[in-house]
Chains A and B, each alone.
Chain A
Amino acid sequence: MRDRADFERYVEQRSARLLRTAYLLCRDWGLAEDLLQTALAKAWFAWRRVGDDPDPYVYRILANTHASWWRRRWRGEVPTEVLPEHATEDPTGDLGVREAVRTALGALPARQRAVLVLRYYADLPDREIAEILGCSEVTVRSQATRALAKLRVDPAARAATISGS
């Protein structure tokens, strides 16, 4: 049975990586900390029932909590003291691509973003992602395909990666 010391060890060892995952889900460091603290607190309430690997359970809470926050979020105008900087041309093109991907990633629905983050950042197989998000593997694949299309990920390169692996 898992105990308090075990939970503290888990938080110390995994929270940095989980925080990055939370950030990729919500794109805001402050919100990511909030999200992770809430997810770990919820995990603590069920800690004695969590199996040997708490990661899938914590990922599930992270994804579900983020999805519910995303549904309730304020979509109106946000007052700001400083105007955002204007984008300028990037001579190497690298920053432009990064910014374009960042913007496209930020515009994805919560579920599609969660699929990409769990697949390409947490390196989880589709079967595990399906369990975490509470859907079928087919849904995971279709959500990933739609999200990748929006991010303009090269389908040829993707096919090569999949067939090569």
Chain B
Amino acid sequence: MMITESDLREFLERDAGDGASGGVTVAQVDGRVRGIRRRRLRLLGGAVAAGLAVTAMLTLPRSGGGGAPDDVWTGVMAQPSPRYGARGVYVGILDRRYSWMGERVAVGIPEYQGSENAWGNLACPRGTVALYWLDGAYQNALLCKDGFVSMTVPKGTGRLEFAVVSSGSVRRLGRPLVNEEDARQVLGFADGRRAEIRLTLTDPRVEPCDSGPDCRFADESIPPLSPAPTWTLFPEYPETGSGGG
């Protein structure tokens, strides 16, 4: 039996409508972004290890060369073989503490040597929300779920601004916080309070090395991951009196 093109359109529309859900959420996409980043980092680590292995193969002295002729005496002094490794270096480029929340704070990003993005970490009272801007452009609102939030600061950014507000201030907006205007309104709802806040920026780099702590070589096995850095966790932020709604 033949069908027409309009039948096909109708079929596709109906077929896609059967059992359709509401799409995917930004949080799910963020999770996938983190997964892709982790996979890329692993691939990068593998490539670095392979590069080190090739370098070592080409540069390390080899045994089993041609034998010395019987009539000539030759001798070589024993010497350590050179080794080529790499080490991850995490240089703190900024560390500031604040004791007040509910207002927008601007921080100039100092010059740093690394060519990669800097890692930002903002320790904030649990349950609060941290908004941040890069060079004046609103970026995101992050829930301070575990006592800190993390952000990537692209190389070349001149100014980071942040504001820590109570989640009640965000609820008073009555809709999802998505843009600069929303962020400004939430800041208007926020009331100033004492809070322990700490902003740190780190410049992650990879340096060549031949010895010393954390120097990794291509010919050694990979040890288990070191435990995650320990951050100072602040107590839960009291919700009472943090704005209506």
Contact = CB atoms under 8 A, between A and B. Distances in A.
Interface stretch (B15-23, B64-72, B160-168, B237-245): B15-23
Given A5-B178, A42-B36, A36 B4 contact: no
B178 A121 contact: no
B32 A37 contact: yes
Given A19-B23, A37-B32, A153-B4, A102 B139 contact: no
B119 interface: no
Contacts of A38: 32, 36
B121 interface: no
6 contacts: A5-B178, A19-B21, A20-B16, A33-B21, A97-B3, A120-B8
A37 B24 contact: yes
A7 B16 CA distance: 24
B4 A40 contact: no
Contacts, number: 125
Interface of A: 3-5, 7-9, 11-12, 14-21, 23-24, 29, 33, 36-38, 40-42, 44-45, 93, 97-98, 100-102, 116-117, 120-121, 148, 151-154, 157-158, 161
A44 B33 contact: yes
B25 interface: yes
B74 interface: no
Interface string B130-143: 00000001111000
B21 to A, nearest CB: 7
A82 B65 CA distance: 66
Interface of A, helix, strand, loop or mixed by DSSP: helix
Contacts of B20: 16, 19-20, 23, 29
B29 interface: yes
Nearest to A122: B12
A108 to B, nearest CB: 12
B43 to A, nearest CB: 15
Contacts of B99: none
Interface string B10-42: 011111110111111110110111011000000
A40 B3 contact: no
B29 A11 contact: yes
Interface string B91-118: 0000000000000000000000000000
A161 B5 contact: yes
Contacts of B137: 3
Given A5-B138, A5-B179, A41-B32, A101 B3 contact: yes
Interface-centre pick from A41, A97, A154 (highest chain B CB count, 10 A): A41
A94 to B, nearest CB: 10
A101 B6 CA distance: 13
A48 to B, nearest CB: 10
